[in-house]
Chain A
């Protein structure tokens, strides 16, 4: 079946370094993708989105890259901070609903 998945379940990053979180998707019909951040004890929160007619979108300290050829999505966080420690989910929008990947837990080392 088609699904959204993340390459690695965990990522440990030194404070100040850049983080890259990867996601592979298999539904070529998906036209909208979102990254969510989930902190402990909270619901997922929107970080950034991208439509399939784009290959890059930048926000504040975050950049999402979309490679439709290999069906790959990534989230880059610049100058990672302790507050960036969380679980990150990619999600694809198709058939009026969002489907989520399993998530990557990012831990920031001081």
Chain B
């Protein structure tokens, strides 16, 4: 089983619909992140959480919200989807302490808003 699991893997939704992307992890990491990937723009941070009671906005949080339901679960919601939110979304986790602070990424959710 994957360390970081994202569901769904692919989703097509209509403009104005509410949609939730889910992320769960078995790494036991406290820190979780949501990134968006667009061609030529790399990965941009949407929201991040350093523990269950901590939620922080990233560089492109407008139009998104998150919920940290447990240490292992971090969901991303689009309250009213719009076409320019069509992108590849990644969830990631990290220990946050120790020498290696690199992230473990999920396989991504490809979202298309029509």
The number of A-B residue pairs with CB atoms under 8 Å apart is 47
A4, A34, A44, A100: residue with the most chain B Cβ atoms closer than 10 Å: A44
Partner of B102, one of A4, A41, A49: A49
Contacting residues, chain B, for A83 (C-beta < 8 A): none
Q: Are A43 and B40 in contact (CB under 8 A)?
A: no
**Number of chain B residues whose Cβ lies closer than 8 Å to a Cβ of chain A:** 24
Interface residues of chain A: helix, strand, loop or mixed (majority): strand
Interface of B (DSSP majority class): strand
Closest Cβ–Cβ distance, residue A77 to chain B (whole Å) = 18
Mark out the residues of chain A between 52 and 104 whose CB falls within 8 Å of any chain B CB in the assembled complex. 89, 93, 96-103
The residue among A32, A45, A98 with the most chain B CB atoms within 10 A of its own CB is A98
User: Which of chain B's residues 30-65 have a Cβ closer than 8 Å to chain A?
Assistant: 33, 35, 40-45, 48, 50, 58
Shortest C-beta distance, A2 to chain B (Å), equals 12
Q: A44-B90, A96-B50 are in contact. Are A102 and B41 (CB under 8 A)?
A: yes
Contact pick for B45, options A4, A41, A43, A97, CB 8 Å: A97
Question: Which residues, 1 to 42 on A, are CB-close (under 8 Å) to B?
Answer: 4, 9, 32, 34, 41-42
Shortest CB-to-CB span from A87 to chain B, Å, is: 9
Which residue numbers of A lie inside 8 Å of B, CB to CB?
Answer: 4, 9, 32, 34, 41-46, 49, 89, 93, 96-103
